[in-house]
């Protein structure tokens, strides 16, 4: 099954625990770990493929809720020199996350047929773990890119030394 989402909006989600490691004088690896008890996501979606032999060729709005989101991100970085200043550059990254539950709500399933759509959403939620495992690679990619951009943007514009307090 293929899953594509764009314009994702997080409408609910407060970090309950966060750890960042690797911010040294000459960094080579950064690690982030955070936990969010509840995340509500809204996005446009496209689903293509089959799920339990159900053919899917759908698109619409989705509203999903993720409970106990536990996220790990590690990236390889290096310092690069520009204009006599050192900036951190992200080379690559890996992500991993777990959750205790996801509630799916895909709108406009089966061309907006409410009975079929409600039944499909109920089926997806009863089998959420299988659907989650199917979607996990793309979800890892989406969250990894999001977090990679979150790391890359400030570090590519602000000299690395400015992220530290002076003695």
Examine residue 167 and state whether it is found in any structural domain, yes or no. no
Examine residue 70 and state whether it is found in any structural domain, yes or no. yes
Q: How large is the average pLDDT for residues 7-36? A: 76
Taking the CB of residue 16, how many other CB atoms lie within 10 A of it? 12
- Token look-up 């991993």 returns 96
Examine residue 145 and state whether it is found in any structural domain, yes or no. yes
Between residues 47 and 70, the one the model is more confident about: 70
- So what's the pLDDT on residue 12? 55
Examine residue 12 and state whether it is found in any structural domain, yes or no. yes
Average pLDDT, rounded, for the chain: 85
- So what's the pLDDT on residue 145? 85
Examine residue 29 and state whether it is found in any structural domain, yes or no. yes
Could you read off the pLDDT of 96-106 as tens digits, one per residue? 999 999 999 99
- The rounded percent of the chain whose pLDDT value lies above 90 is 39
Contact 55, 28 (CB under 8 A): no
Examine residue 106 and state whether it is found in any structural domain, yes or no. yes
Residue 128: give its domain's CATH number. 3.15.10.30
Q: Could you tell me the residue range of the domain that residue 96 belongs to?
A: 2-162
Could you read off the pLDDT of 32-60 as tens digits, one per residue? 898 889 888 888 888 788 777 877 788 89
CA 97 to chain centre: 9
**Tally of structural domains, the chain:** 1
Best CA proximity match to 120, nearest among 43, 45, 54: 54
Examine residue 15 and state whether it is found in any structural domain, yes or no. yes
SS3 4: strand
pTM metric for this prediction: 0.72
Taking the CB of residue 61, how many other CB atoms lie within 10 A of it? 13
Examine residue 84 and state whether it is found in any structural domain, yes or no. yes
């Amino acid at each position: 099954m293929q899953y594509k989402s764009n314009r994702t909006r997080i409408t609910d989600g407060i970090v309950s625990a966060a750890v960042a490691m690797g911010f040294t004088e000459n960094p080579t690896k950064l690690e982030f770990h955070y936990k969010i008890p509840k995340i509500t996501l809204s996005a446009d979606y496209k689903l293509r493929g089959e799920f339990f032999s159900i053919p899917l060729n759908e698109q619409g709005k989705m509203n999903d809720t993720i409970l106990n989101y536990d996220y790990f991100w590690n990236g390889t970085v290096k310092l690069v020199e520009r204009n006599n200043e050192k900036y951190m550059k992200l080379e690559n990254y890996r992500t991993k996350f777990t959750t205790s539950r996801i509630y799916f709500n895909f709108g406009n399933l089966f061309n907006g047929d409410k009975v079929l759509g409600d039944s499909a959403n109920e089926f997806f939620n009863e089998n959420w773990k299988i659907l989650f495992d199917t979607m996990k690679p793309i979800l890892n990619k989406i969250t990894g890119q999001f977090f990679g951009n979150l790391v890359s943007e400030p570090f590519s514009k602000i000299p690395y030394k400015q992220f530290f307090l002076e003695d």
